[in-house]
A and B are shown apart, each in its own frame.
Chain A
Amino acid sequence: MIMSDAIVTKRLTKHYGRKRVVDSLNLRVPRGSVYGFLGRNGAGKSTTIKMLLGMVHADYGQVELLGEPADQLCWETRSRIAYLAEGHPCYGWMTIGEAVRFTSSFYPNWNSTLVDQILDHFQLSRRQKFRRLSRGQQAQVSLALAVAPDPELLILDDPTLGLDTVVRRDFLESLIQIIQRQGRTILFSSHILGDVERVADRIGILVAGVLRVDCRTDQFRESIRKIVLEFHGELPEQPLCPGLVSCRQVGSQLELVTVGYDDVQREAIEALNPRSIEVLDLNLEDAFIEYTRGPRRPLPLFVMENQDAQKTGSQGAA
């Protein structure tokens, strides 16, 4: 049986007034992967996720979840998809027990042992009202409720927003346990790049509604290089360097960030005659910042699984 991708969008577009919030998005989340959906605030991540779930109507384009068109999802497929919205919404007046009973009534497959385990682990009494719980506890309960039906596809919209460091770690641990079960697909958006690096196989970066990056996490990291050039006298103008993302003057140094670092880039840089050249790797957070901050338009970097053989350098030079 050919397994289709868990999530596929085709030219998904959404306008709010005149502003194009999501622009012709072609997203592809393979089954079994953990996909980190990144982007600055206002880039369109939340809107995209809401369109996936049918909370917001797209102006143009199609969405497919687990192989079925999202607007015609049959009941059975819907019960295999879980969604945790931003802020972990739930009915504040419900007690945890009531919330469990309410949610479980929708799903034929409900793993009540799992819910019990999570609640006991975090020492949560079923009699407590949801609104009386701390944010972290609410997040854990919401995650438990989302995961209990044993979903194949889990979509999380900024699940660690507003959680303190310890609770975030707890949350990630729960997530790792879910990941370890084969075949589960997770799409989550986050601002905590450290967490994304730990957990995501693939990342996608949305910049002003456009998907500019869609590749494996390590591929993205390895492509972005920071080059620090020292000069004797005056700093030259921005070099003509393919794959250049940003160029900054810092004292007597010129800091360049490029997508890919190959002979082409090396030649362009050596042509500037710097006193010294230092090529640095960046961690995911710095790479993301450099990529999304620069005043120049970021260059796209698309690598699909079956194109792994291609050098990323040639991608950047394109």
Chain B
Amino acid sequence: MEFQCDTTSRTPIYKQLIVQVRQGIARGKLLPGDRLPSVRQLSQQLVVNPNTVARAYTELEREGLLHTRQGVGVFVAELQADLNESVRQERLQTALECFLTESVHLGFSADQVLQAVAEQIQNFHFVGAPSDAN
């Protein structure tokens, strides 16, 4: 997976990296057990201070997305659903609100939105159990 950094962006570099890793995991480009470049390698590749990369990795590790094996490297962790059901649902609803509000303001119809969702869903790597029809 290719990492990038944009110094003109309003987002600090370490946050950009965090976002890229999360997106990579979400899209299935980074699968659990995949090895990420070391702090040294990534800092050389992106031409940024190693501390910036280290900070991104540390935060991701704290969020539970990565884990470090001493002397071996940094790996993508198994996706864990350690938040309880109601919190997860709440966050999902918030994300949906945001997304749907934006779509309405952009002037799309409900069908167009559903179609767009159906298309994009292919690109993402969902790990949850297939929902039973309810």
A interface residues, Cβ below 8 angstroms from B: 34, 169, 172-173, 176-177, 179-180, 193-195, 197-201, 218, 221-222, 280-285
Q: Is B43 an interface residue (CB 8 A)?
A: yes
Q: Is the CB of B7 within 8 A of A176?
A: no
Among the listed B8, B44, B47, B52, which residue makes an inter-chain contact with A285, where contact means beta carbons less than 8 Å apart? B8
User: By the criterion CB–CB under 8 Å, are A194 and B50 in contact?
Assistant: no
B46 — nearest CB in chain A belongs to which residue? A198
Q: Is the CB of B10 within 8 A of A180?
A: no
Q: Is B73 an interface position by the 8 A CB rule?
A: no
| CB nearest neighbor in A for B44 | A176
The 9 lowest CB-CB distance pairs between A and B, nearest first, are A194-B7, A281-B10, A198-B48, A197-B7, A172-B47, A199-B49, A283-B10, A218-B12, A173-B47
* Contact-residue bracket for chain B: 10 to 19
Q: Would you call B44 and A180 a contact (CB within 8 A)? A: yes
Q: With A and B bound together, what is the CA distance between A173 and B11 in angstroms? A: 22
14 chain-A/chain-B pairs, Cβ below 8 angstroms: A34-B49, A173-B44, A173-B47, A176-B44, A176-B50, A179-B43, A180-B50, A197-B13, A198-B13, A198-B47, A199-B47, A282-B10, A283-B9, A284-B7
Set of chain A residues within 8 Å of B5, measured between Cβ atoms? 198
Is B40 among interface residues, defined by CB-CB distance under 8 A?
yes
Interface centre among A172, A173, A218 (most CB of B within 10 A): A218
Q: B residues within 8 A CB of A179?
A: 43, 49-50
B17 CB to closest chain A CB (Å) equals 12
B103 at the A interface (CB under 8 A): no
A284-B14 Cα distance, complex, nearest whole Å = 13
User: Please, which residues of chain A bring their CB within 8 A of the CB of B10?
Assistant: 280-283
Which residues of B, 1-56, contact A by the 8 Å Cβ criterion?
5, 7-14, 40, 43-44, 46-52
